[in-house]
Structure 1
Amino acid sequence: MNESVLSTRNLITGYQDKGVPPKVVGKYGELHLRRGEFNVLIGVNGVGKSTLLKTLSGEIAPLEGEVSINNKILNALNNTQRSLLISFVFSNTNIVGKLTAFETVLMGRYPYVNWWGKLKQDDHEIALSALKDVGADHLKDRYINTLSDGERQKVMIARAIAQNTDVIFLDEPSAHLDLINRIEIFQLLKSIARKKQKAILLSTHEIEMSLQVADNLWILYGNEVKIGSPSAIVSSDFINQTFSSPSIAFNAKSGVFNFCAPESLFSFKISFSEEVQHYKGAIDPIVYLEWECKKLISEGAYQDENPQFSICLTLLGDEGALVWEVKFDGRTYTYDLSKCNLFSELLKLYQAE
């Protein structure tokens, strides 16, 4: 098992104001972050993710218990000492001043400045190497405020790498990014954890992506935490128990969330004929069928072995056109796949019954 870098003992997080009883946010007991592991922190809004990150980073003190990094009690250290152990990347960091990407990354080296307050040549080399690690060295002379959100986040991650801490925390670093950049950031962080043996904990709402990439999931619920591998968490149905609602449900086999209709409509069974496999058109008919099935379910239809609607995707004669053959109430209806909305046609038949 990898070496534990961060650990907690009897940890209770929350806030304490003078003259007011403490507000408890979470009771987490014993937690561990280990070298080389990419951990993802998830939970519904308001459950305490940011409070936990701030407590683990030493920004706020625990209500009870303690946080240790490399056997050093975190709250016994000053800010400079903590900055040698922990780096933090936020979702949207505003850099004040006209700094280049390289100068921004170089800020990660300031905990190491000498007595004269000057950076050495080694610091410059470390900063450039960190930019290369995230694939952003070509941006080094660009001003940080001219970069895209995705480019800026790579630079901020490079700054955390340059800071050379054993632990890296990230609070929703992909919140403002498009899909491709979110995927790149997740893959980048996992690579950093592996290659540089960092202990990384990232807070996010990207549940489906986390299931594919994370080594461990930390799921906050109530005021507790459940920790485990994605395989263990999903197979225990904990994702569904924690995040499902009347309008959405988690499918443990596919690893995705499905929309749930507010009421049930009609039953159906959907299939395709053997001839469909010989279709030469531009679409994949089997994939098309799968997505039509998802659409029907999202609208309130449900699958049944003795359905009201029997639907078959097939080819029409020598023309080779894809059509839906729908059997309902003793009759058969044929619809050109390219010209109809299947759910709308089924709904018309169902409502006219």
Structure 2
Amino acid sequence: MSKETTTDPDLLIDFQGVSFIRGGNTLVGPVDWQVELDERWVVIGPNGAGKTTLIRMAAAQEFPSQGVAFVLGERVGRTDMRDLRASIGLTSSALAGRVPDDEKVGDLVVSAGYAIVGRWREEYDEADYEQAVEVLEQVGAMHLVDRTWGTLSDGEKKRVLVARAVMTNPELLILDEPAAGMDLGGREDLIAYLGELALDPDAPAIVMITHHLEEIPYGFTHAMLLDEGSVVAQGLIEDVLTSENVTKAYHQPIEVTYDDGRFFARRARTKRSGAHRK
């Protein structure tokens, strides 16, 4: 069979020359990208780099304009997208915006198994609620189970969305800036949990977007660095997240360090300050 009609069964994401174009502008691509079963990827880059667009295609939320995209072994555009989405755990600001303010946290998490947002007349088993409480405890949010969505802080909402994403035991877990809006303690709690998840051999493949190298949990194996819709570098995380590559993507001198399983980045001290971009 031709490459365009089949994919390796070990690949959960297989992008072959994929681009996304709107209004005549290429927002991302062309990209070749493969994610295997046991890999944990971080996608990083400046604002406007195309990170969210890329991830929306990987989450079966958008169709590529060009190229061939396989997700969970199915070719995007030639399969029922609803079936694909049911097997993908996703956190995103778009999802957060769809949650009714009066939705109870426990109901929001348990309803993930039914692929809905906003409980109406659905009946859930006691086992479903027990699992929801368990995942909320894992992300440090069990105390929020009876709170309503509209009363939560941004950081608390992020934790709840991560719990909802893992509730269904997905084949692929996609996290769009999961630590954004959290205070230092909340961020470190979440990163510790995601690090444990990354090291779990039974956990799903993980793809995470972040703006900050400090938010990358330990245990992540691969990275993609984007700038203006193009791939600056991708591959093993220690080969991609170098001072040279990050400097190239962010258009200013960035010094990257690695300590005890975590990455850190800061602007290198220079005699003259410079603009973010020319």
Question: 1:276-287, aligned counterparts within 5 Å?
Answer: none
Q: Does 1:4 align with 2:8?
A: no
Whether 1:163 and 2:165 are equivalent positions in the alignment is no
Residue 103 (structure 1) shift: 0.9
2:248 pairs with one of 241, 247, 253 = 241
**1:35-69 CA-partner distances (Å, limit 9, x unpaired):** 34331111111121111111222222101122222
In the superposition, the TM-score normalised over structure 1's length comes to 0.63
Residues 234 and 147 (structure 1 numbering): CA distance in 2 closer, same or farther, change over 3 Å? closer
Partner of 1:281: none
Could you tell me which runs of 5 or more consecutive residues in structure 1 were left unpaired when the two chains were aligned: 265-353
Pair 1:71-2:80 in alignment: no
Alpha-carbon displacement from aligned partner over 1:77-135 (angstroms, at most 9, x marks no partner): 334312222222124824314222211101201139xxx96434443333233223323
Q: Alignment partner of 2:77: what SS?
A: helix
Identify the structure with bigger relative contact order (alpha carbons < 8 Å, sequence gap 6+).
2
Could you say what secondary structure the match of 1:5 adopts? strand
Alignment deviations for residues 330-351 of structure 1 (CA, whole Å, 9 cap, x no partner): xxxxxxxxxxxxxxxxxxxxxx
1:256 partner amino acid: A
Change (3 A) 1:192 1:208: closer
Distance 1:136 1:44 in 2: 30
* CA gap 1:14/1:56 in 2 versus in 1, 3 angstroms: farther
Equivalent position of 1:258 in the other structure: 267
Counterpart residue number, 1:49: 51
Equivalent in the alignment of 2:135: 130
User: Quick check: 2:48–2:228 contact (8 Å CA) kept in 1?
Assistant: no
CA contact (8 A) 1:8 1:66 kept: yes
Which protein is bigger by CA-based radius of gyration?
1
Equivalent residue, structure 1, for 2:203: 197
Task: Report SS of the residue matched to 1:25.
Answer: strand
Distance 1:170 1:149 in 2: 15
Offset at 1:161?
0.9
CA RMSD, 1 decimal = 3.0
- Local SS of the residue matching 1:203: strand
Output the CA distance in 1 between the equivalents of 2:134 and 2:218: 28
- Does the 8 Å contact 1:37/1:197 carry over to 2? no
Which residue identity does 2:234 align to in structure 1? I
Cα separation, partners in 2 of 1:167 and 1:143, compared to 1, 3 Å: same
Distance 1:155 1:68, change over 3 A: same
Aligned length: 253
1: CA distance between counterparts of 2:101 and 2:258?
49
Q: 1:231 aligns with which of 220, 238, 252?
A: 238
Structure 2 counterpart of 1:111: 115
- CA distance in 2: counterparts of 1:152 and 1:236, whole angstroms: 33
- Cα pair 1:84 1:164 within 8 Å, conserved: no
CA gap 1:117/1:175 in 2 versus in 1, 3 angstroms: closer
For residue 152 of structure 1, what is the aligned residue in structure 2? 157
Counterpart of 2:145 (choices 137, 140, 143) is: 140
CA distance, structure 2, for counterparts of residue 76 and residue 121 of structure 1 = 37
Candidates 26, 29, 36, aligned match of 1:27: 29
For the 8 Å contact 2:88–2:174, the answer to whether it is kept is yes
Q: Name the amino acid aligned to 1:223.
A: G
Alignment equivalent of 1:182, drawn from 173, 177, 187:
187
Residues 235/53 of structure 1: CA separation in 2 closer, same or farther (3 Å cut): closer
Which moves more between the two structures, 209-218 or 60-69? 209-218
Task: Quote the sequence identity (%).
Answer: 23
Aligned partner letter, 1:13: F
